[in-house]
């Protein structure tokens, strides 16, 4: 690739983005879930995404198959930035041996994929697909450590802190500063530990709102003070954070392979950017973003007693809530913006 030629990059998202992108262009959605796509042109990268009906139909059959229909379309690109779909990588790179395009993966799941697929055919495909990747972008240092321990090439692995539309959430706190009247938890990933949260908040004299999907809380006993918010449009999230007293992000232990390796990253960064104090489960991947007692509170995973104590502490201490929220907001604006993440990705795409 000539130096004066923009790399041609294809984004293959894990979920649907067509409607989301249109809503973002209309000024409704924060840009977080675009993963830097909207900045690429000004950063010297020619980037676009594809979303075919056939691919979305396959999603209902198997999440892992969703990107296979793009097999021959990817030949038109220099780089594929992929967020799921290891079978596509396995076929294109391992079976067919294609040198082009290069594959850069947004790693939210490789740790747990390897844990869930330790042997057999699925384990073979998973490992060979990962070995075939050109760059692995980890948003948690513990992911990087795990991959190195499993013998994957160090030169392919990059730690890049995730970014969010920090200014959009921060502007909401300036334009509509609310003290809040409920505790908020957000997340639809199976990596959330709502069982522990519900045990911890039961009978607390404050409302708790949980923005999630039914499958994640199925079978759990919902306390009377908990309100489930199902299918909340992303455009409404800034206002939802602003109405919160503070936010809580209960997560499964690192050794539990359910859900995403990095479950909860948006769930704590977005309220932090909104100027809200946050309580999160203490995991190494969380400590890359939250310093306990400085810009948030960390509690042991799966410990409802410790979580309840932290909740009561924030409920009763307005000064602590304010200090944590203000410090967190400043940190996210400086370090964890979607523009900053896009700059890191653009550099990777140009070098690939």
Q: Are residues 19 and 121 in the same domain?
A: yes
Q: Are residues 87 and 172 in the same domain?
A: no
Q: Are residues 246 and 258 in the same domain?
A: yes
Q: Are residues 179 and 323 in the same domain?
A: yes
Question: Which CATH number belongs to the domain containing residue 24 in this structure?
Answer: 3.40.50.2000
Q: Are 218 and 76 in contact (CB under 8 A)?
A: no
CA dist list (Å): 222 to 187, 218, 219, 253:
16, 10, 9, 22
Any domain includes 269: yes
In the predicted model, is pLDDT for residue 60 greater than 90?
no
Q: Are residues 239 and 137 in the same domain?
A: no
Any domain includes 3: no
Q: Which of helix, strand or coil describes residue 225? A: coil
Domain count, the chain: 2
Average pLDDT rounded to a whole number, residues 123-151: 97
Any domain includes 263: yes
> Looking at residue 64, what is its pLDDT?
74
Those residues whose C-beta lies under 8 Å from the C-beta of residue 53, and which sit 6 or more positions away, are: none
* DSSP notation for 47-110: EEE---HHHHHHHHH-GGGTTGGGTTGGGG-SEEEESS-HHHHIIIIIIS---SSEEEEEESSH
Q: Are residues 144 and 185 in the same domain?
A: no
pLDDT band for position 5 (cuts 50, 70, 90) = confident
Q: Which of helix, strand or coil describes residue 210? A: strand
CA–CA separation, 35 and 164 (whole Å): 8
Q: Are residues 135 and 227 in the same domain?
A: no
Q: Are residues 14 and 118 in the same domain?
A: yes
- Residue of 276, 309, 273 whose CA lies nearest to 183: 276
The string of pLDDT tens digits covering residues 69-124 is: 999 999 999 999 999 889 999 999 999 999 999 999 999 999 999 999 988 999 99
Q: Are residues 143 and 198 in the same domain?
A: no
- Residue of 303, 265, 84 whose CA lies nearest to 186: 265
The string of pLDDT tens digits covering residues 204-255 is: 999 999 999 999 999 999 999 999 999 899 999 999 999 999 999 999 999 9
Mean pLDDT of the chain: 94
In the predicted model, is pLDDT for residue 184 greater than 80?
yes
Average pLDDT rounded to a whole number, residues 275-291: 97
Q: Are residues 143 and 186 in the same domain?
A: no
CA–CA separation, 60 and 103 (whole Å): 25
Q: Are residues 250 and 153 in the same domain?
A: no
Average pLDDT rounded to a whole number, residues 39-47: 98
pLDDT band for position 174 (cuts 50, 70, 90) = low
Any domain includes 1: no
Structural domain of 194: 166-335
> Is pLDDT larger for residue 174 or for residue 304?
304
CA–CA separation, 340 and 166 (whole Å): 10
Q: Are residues 327 and 180 in the same domain?
A: yes
Q: Are 258 and 112 in contact (CB under 8 A)?
A: yes
Any domain includes 93: yes
In the predicted model, is pLDDT for residue 3 greater than 70?
no
User: What angle is formed at CA 239 by the lines to CA 235 and CA 241, rounded to 5 degrees?
Assistant: 110
Any domain includes 2: no
> Looking at residue 175, what is its pLDDT?
56
Share of the chain above pLDDT 70, in %: 96
* pTM of the predicted model as reported, rounded to 2 decimal places: 0.93
């Amino acid at each position: 690739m000539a130096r004066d030629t923009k790399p041609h990059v294809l984004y293959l998202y894990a979920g649907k983005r067509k409607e989301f992108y249109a809503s973002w262009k209309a000024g409704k959605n924060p840009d977080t879930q675009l993963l830097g796509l909207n900045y690429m042109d000004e950063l010297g990268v020619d980037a676009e995404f594809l979303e075919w009906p056939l691919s979305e139909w396959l999603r209902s059959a198997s999440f892992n198959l969703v990107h296979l229909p793009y097999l021959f379309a990817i030949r038109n690109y220099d780089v594929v930035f992929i967020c799921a779909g290891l079978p596509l990588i396995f076929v294109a790179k391992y079976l067919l041996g294609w040198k082009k395009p290069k594959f850069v993966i947004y790693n939210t799941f490789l740790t747990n994929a390897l844990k869930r697929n330790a042997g057999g055919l699925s384990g073979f495909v998973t490992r060979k697909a990962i070995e075939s990747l050109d760059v692995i972008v980890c948003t948690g240092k513990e992911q990087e450590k795990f991959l190195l321990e499993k013998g994957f090439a160090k030169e392919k692995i990059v730690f890049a802190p995730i970014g969010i539309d920090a200014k959009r959430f921060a502007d909401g706190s300036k334009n509509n500063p609310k003290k809040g009247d409920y505790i908020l938890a957000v997340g639809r990933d199976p990596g959330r530990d709502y069982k522990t949260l519900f045990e911890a908040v039961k009978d607390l004299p404050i409302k708790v709102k949980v923005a999630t999907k039914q499958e994640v809380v199925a079978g759990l006993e919902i306390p009377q003070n908990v309100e489930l918010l199902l299918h909340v449009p992303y455009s409404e999230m800034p206002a939802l954070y602003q109405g919160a007293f503070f936010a809580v992000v209960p997560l499964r232990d690192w050794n539990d392979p359910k859900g995403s390796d990095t479950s909860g990253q948006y769930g704590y960064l977005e309220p932090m950017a909104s100027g809200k104090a946050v309580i999160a489960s203490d995991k190494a991947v969380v400590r890359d973003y939250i310093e306990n007692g400085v810009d948030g509170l960390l509690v042991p995973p799966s410990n409802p007693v410790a979580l309840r104590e932290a909740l009561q502490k924030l409920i009763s201490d307005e000064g602590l809530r304010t200090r944590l929220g203000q410090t967190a907001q400043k940190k996210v604006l400086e370090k964890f913006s979607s523009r900053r993440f896009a700059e890191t990705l653009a550099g990777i795409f140009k070098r690939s």
